[in-house]
Amino acid sequence: MIYFDCDYSNGMHPAILKRLTDTNAEYTGTYGLDKYSESAKQKIREACGDPDADIFFLIGGTQANAVTLDAMLKPWQGVVCAPTGHINCYEAGAVEFTGHKIIVLPSHVDGKIRPDELHVLLTAAEEADNKEHMVIPAIVYITFPTEFGTIYSSQEIKVIHEVCKRHNCKLFVDGARLGYGLGADGNDVSLKFLAEHCDAFYIGGTKVGAIFGEAVVFPHHSAPEHFFAFIKQHGILYAKGRFTGLQFDTLFTDGLYENIGRQADNLALQLADLFVKYGVGEILVKSPTNQQFVILSHDVMDRLSEEVVFEKWGTYDAGHKICRFVTSWATTQQDIDTLEKILAGIA
């Protein structure tokens, strides 16, 4: 079997494993107060072009989303996102569990939110006669890449940011797969750009080569007051924090983070081309990143499932399913070549 169902099922990038092994016997500070975590933070600040950025390491994406949003929101405020946004679909109501409503915008096949629709929603909330009885939208949440593997251009994010500022909202970017967005062909968004146009974002490690870990970035020393204690109160302060810092210190050495993303993206594009080449599937939406969504007939899907592991995402029509294929740091050219032989046999 070859596996294209997930980008975090393998262990960790060999460079990270080597660093963890080489430093295993060392004595360091705890709770992220160690030299490796500090080194990682400095490298991230340099990559963001922001020497004053506040950076906190958390274990997973759900914690990064829920705890960061909870800390940034007042009790009566909510967060706006696309219907397909990760916080709205795949985190078991973690944000709602903190007491904050998710307010959804209209759905689009590319998974993006539209600035004009955002403006209408925020304007309606401001002008409502009974707004004191309503949840007030205070943060706009986007993912980069989106849940469909698409990416926002810098201009799109800039306009969304301008709408947020006009309505006194903050912009938060979920970067669980940020490395695959940064490494995508045609991408013009950088960490420096995000630091200039977002109120908070996080750099995903779990899905981009780390065994676990996300780096939450608050540009320009803007972290919520006592955010460290807030993490502790939520029960997610990791005692052996050096292991997260060490991983990001490795990922941000010699361009490894973006190289991981670029390699996986290139293999994913090859994968998508194979379905078109052999006429066994149609691409749902053009994605330049490591997630590819293919429309397959039930027959092709069943035959492919005998040798390939992938995710059955949803129903397209009575005779077809939308299937997701994902590459990662662990995907090899041999995996793609094997897939081609299988598809050639089905065609």
Averages of pLDDT over each 10 residues, the chain, 347 residues: 96 96 95 95 98 96 96 97 93 92 94 96 90 92 97 98 97 98 97 98 98 97 95 92 96 96 98 96 96 97 96 93 97 98 93
Question: What gap in Å lies between CA 92 and CA 63, rounded to an integer?
Answer: 12
Residue type, 130: N
Question: What gap in Å lies between CA 334 and CA 324, rounded to an integer?
Answer: 19
**CATH 3.90.1150.10 location in the chain:** 2-7+257-346
CA angle 152, 156, 159 (to 5 degrees): 150
**CATH 3.40.640.10 location in the chain:** 14-255
pLDDT at residue 276, as a whole number? 96
Parallel, antiparallel or unpaired: strands 320-326 and 311-317: antiparallel
Q: Which two tokens stand for residue 166?
A: 């006009």
CB burial of 146-171 (b: ≥16 within 10 Å; e: otherwise) equals bbbbbbbebebbebbbebbeebebbb
pLDDT at residue 326, as a whole number? 98
Question: What gap in Å lies between CA 295 and CA 337, rounded to an integer?
Answer: 21
- First-to-last alpha carbon distance for the chain, in angstroms, is 19
* Residues 294/339, Cβ–Cβ less than 8 Å: no
Q: What fold does the segment set 2-7+257-346 form as a domain?
A: Aspartate Aminotransferase, domain 1 (3.90.1150)
pLDDT at residue 91, as a whole number? 87
**Residue 11 φ/ψ, nearest 5 degrees:** -65, -90
Q: Which CATH class is domain 14-255?
A: alpha beta
pLDDT at residue 130, as a whole number? 86
Q: How far is CA 165 from the centre of its chain?
A: 23
pLDDT at residue 128, as a whole number? 84
Q: What is the CA radius of gyration of the chain?
A: 21
Question: What gap in Å lies between CA 125 and CA 166, rounded to an integer?
Answer: 13
